[in-house]
Structure 1
């Protein structure tokens, strides 16, 4: 037998569950649930790109020095 909370969670879409999880923390904002990747398919290949306006991006953060001479 399922509980009412369980039934409500089962009726949510994946996007709704993601949004709910990312905005339920204390001090969370709607911006925390903003998409950070863009997924597209081309000729049967899936491409995943970091959204240009994503607040957090992979790689060294601002102010981090990179040693360009290392191999």
Structure 2
């Protein structure tokens, strides 16, 4: 597919699945974007495989 014909979703999928050990799950959506009364809300999906926050090496006890 030529870059001029590729959609943003196609480019995202290609980028997230091009690593040697990547899977289709790596390209799954991780956020939901919605607009309410002119404000844009971005929510992390409950089913997202990767979520922002403290990594495994960080403890919440610190």
TM-score bracket relative to the smaller structure: 0.7 to 0.9
Q: State TM-score, norm by structure 1.
A: 0.75
1:38 pairs, out of 32, 38, 57, with 32
- Structure 1: which 5+ runs fail to align? none
1:57 pairs, out of 47, 51, 54, with 51
**Rg: which structure is higher?**
1
- Structure 2: which 5+ runs fail to align? none
| Count of matched residue positions in the alignment of Structure 1 and Structure 2 | 62
Q: State TM-score, norm by structure 2.
A: 0.84
More helix by share: 1
Aligned CA-pair RMSD: 1.9
